[in-house]
Structure 1
């Protein structure tokens, strides 16, 4: 019996296909889709990053505005004030008319328009700390910015004032405001001040003892060492006198900031303050009528306490900008904000 030979057959599973690699078209499509996906993710990341930078810069700008208005308005509001509410102020400082920090009679509030130089206070220029051209400035003197220490006794003959605590915080050469319900006085304390004593002293002389008279009564009399003397009543106060000038100056980063200068030096208050413009509202002391319009500093010729028209309100206009260029035009964002301050210590 003969045998029959059959050809070999390859068994395959139903539905199986022969595997093959990607063709060039499929690879290109996959690459394009991947690039589109990555581009979308990058775009979302960049958009979120820009939004974060914008919000961060706007937040900082708003915080700088809040600090600027709060600190400057607080001093402007208290211009010419004292803790006793006395309207009469004697000034026995030897340099009362030569130093801007103690020239009370020249005005407790004095503005400088963008065309006026603050001579003897701050120079206008491009150096760090100097005032920026075409920006306003304002000088403020006050005896009501700090908590005072209560007077328990005042010996006018020996020029010693007894306080209710040894922790008064006063130091030699401090300029202070002494007041009671009748009047107030500016004087410089002497080296007799002691941290372990409740007694502070002032004296006649030059240098550290920089007073023209021992008499602290109003009106000021510098014709003799005794001058116009009286004892301040128990229950009055002694407090530090403050003198400051606010202006927009050049900062160390090449931008602009709000600055405050006083007898101790100059300090930077807030970054990003591009411009400051101040307007003043006056009241006629004879009639009690308010002016109908706000005016700038150059329109006011008399800032003294005896002027017929007294400034009773100041309108602060600050232009602020973000620290980086986050605007849609690739420039810093600017905002102008306005705050009106009413002065508390004005003649009726």
Structure 2
């Protein structure tokens, strides 16, 4: 016969009641729900911060690379205030017709080779300058159209468009070939992808003058490759918009290169001497050679919908680049 102590032990070993179990489950669910809420909130914050960081990084890349080109607009290794002889064939139809301007903005289509993926209604800009690296002239024979240079280790090749200058004048020519040792730069007429209309590099240019001679560049004159680059907004393969760049190579504009994505719009205005405000490309008119600075306004957006009301994060950022060759 069981004793009272046995029944007391059995009562003490009873499990949780159904009510107690339900209370414990509810409390557990509340704790898990709170933890999930904190996790989701932190994840949202992280995604928003990462998206904003990506937008800012895209802006830094865009402004840094564009400003680098704009600052060099119209620059050459000799002087910015010397006359220029452009002896390229068909000057009205080649890229370096307006080299002395250094910069040209486009509200509508480009004059030459409009990119197929360009976004309508967005601004664009073309910038031209001499490249930083070049060679030194040892001697020049204008009759045979040959520059003897100081080195055979250079990256200039036939069909490259070059700028040669001294302290009195500059000339734009297309390189028609080196010699076997690569220590000459030849600028004959009638050959090349664009071609030179004359061997003579005098200012002013006379393409009909076939007499021997012409302006002779002395030793220590400089020869550099010419650089032309355009910046514009284009549709990218992912279905969005990106900032694109095209670079002129051997007289032809290269394929567009995607620089950074998430750039929805670009508007550029320009500062003229004595002006109280920046004006658009149409307002500059024919005064591109006088432009002192460019104000770049980019509209950027992130990829994730983590902004207010589920919108993507967007920023409108502005950068001003001074054309240092105009302020020398």
TM-score, normalization by structure 1: 0.84
Partner of 1:282: 272
Structure 1 residues not aligned, in runs of 5+? 1-6, 124-128, 284-289
Instruction: Report how far residue 278 of structure 1 moved.
Output: 1.0
| Pair 1:142-2:129 in alignment | yes
Unpaired stretches in structure 2, ≥5 consecutive residues: 248-252
| Contact 1:86/1:180, CA 8 A, preserved across alignment | no
The match for 2:262 among 272, 289, 299 is 272
CA distance 1:55–1:131, shift in 2 (3 Å): same
> Is the Cα contact below 8 Å between 1:322 and 1:332 reproduced in 2?
yes
Aligned residue number for residue 324 of structure 1: 304
Q: Deviations over 1:188-213 (max 9, x none)?
A: 1113355x422121110044471111
Aligned to 1:239, the other structure's residue is in SS state strand
The yes-or-no answer on 1:335 pairing with 2:315 is yes
> In the alignment, which residue of structure 2 is the partner of 1:230?
215
Q: Which has the higher helix share?
A: 2
Cα distance change of structure 1 residues 147 and 86 upon mapping to structure 2, 3 Å threshold: same
Match of 2:275 among 272, 291, 294: 291
Q: Which runs of 4+ in 1 moved over 6 A?
A: 13-16
Q: How far apart, CA to CA, are the structure 1 residues paired with 2:164 and 2:152?
A: 17
When normalised by structure 2's length, the TM-score is: 0.89
- The equivalent position to 1:118 in structure 2, one of 110, 113, 133, is 110
- Name the CA distance, whole Å, in 2 between partners of 1:304 and 1:53: 44
* Equivalent residue, structure 1, for 2:120: 133
Distance 1:232 1:106, change over 3 A: closer
Shift, 1:118, TM fit: 2.1
- How far does residue 35 in structure 1 lie from its aligned partner after superposition? 1.4
Residue by residue, what CA displacement relative to the aligned partner does 1:287-335 show, whole Å, maximum 9, x if unpaired?
xxx1122211112221454xxxx21111111111112222132111111
- State the match for 1:68 in structure 2: 62
SS for the counterpart of 1:241 is strand
RMSD, matched Cα: 2.5
- 1:94 has 2:107 as partner: no
In terms of Rg, which structure is larger? Answer: 1
> 1-side partners of 2:212 and 2:62: how far apart?
42
Question: CA contact under 8 A between 1:78 and 1:345: conserved in structure 2?
Answer: yes
**Aligned residue pair count:** 322
Aligned in 2, Cα 1:42/1:9: closer, same or farther, shift over 3 Å? closer
Q: Give how far 1:17 is off.
A: 5.0
**Equivalent residues in 2 for 1:102-113, closer than 5 Å:** 102-104=96-98, 107-113=101-107
